[in-house]
Structure 1
């Protein structure tokens, strides 16, 4: 009741805010940002956001106190990396394969694993 607690985690909310700010800047504001920020920050934030939503769904549908298995995290990292850095550039002129993006996806996945993929705290007493 009251929504999925994991979706209110300060790190996940911060990642969503940063990602939203990058999107807003890219499409409307057009403020000059450092190349490292415009090239790799969204990739760093992408998997923690996707996995955060997956964790919330897992807790809502399967186990309210559960976490995502490491194999799922590795699978998500591999899937996103192969799709966006391997296959999509073959079909889209706008997509560019960048090995540093694969490292950014990995760093985001590791960050999710260490800071967000934790069982929730103790249940409140009635």
Structure 2
């Protein structure tokens, strides 16, 4: 049997997570909508969803990539999971930076305190369903 290089390509466990790829797809859809995408005029695409969806998805996507990096390059342990204090710290940093600091220095960015709740919801989604030890 010939050695097929494509069959050897296998995504790490963190990046095979269905919630991760669902989040990537929804994030890309929401970004295209913010730029006048094809679903913008459909009545089922609510304005709140368009405004808050990327904020809910931010932490799960970022933390999944961070978990992958920490497992692969830093701890080298597939069973490593991010401690709740790290997830909380990422939420706090994201909320302070994007809703407190950056809007003070940029006229194109506005602070929206609903986003802080959206970041928290994203952190909870990651902690509850995505921050699991890898199956080896």
TM over 0.5: yes
RMSD, aligned α-carbons = 1.4
How much does 1:34 deviate? 1.2
When Rg is computed on C-alpha atoms for both structures, the one with the higher figure is 2
Q: Are 1:27 and 2:35 an aligned pair? A: yes
Report the more deviating stretch, 28-37 or 43-52: 28-37
| 5+ residue gaps, structure 1 | none
How much does 1:28 deviate? 5.1
Partner in structure 1 of residue 89 of structure 2 = 75
SS at match of 1:95: coil
> Partners of 1:93 and 1:4 in 2: how far apart?
40
TM-score by length of 2: 0.84
> Partners of 1:24 and 1:70 in 2: how far apart?
32
| 5+ residue gaps, structure 2 | 1-8
Q: Are 1:87 and 2:101 an aligned pair? A: yes
String of CA shifts for 1:83-126, please: whole Å, max 9, x gaps: 000001101111111111000000000010000001123x3xxx
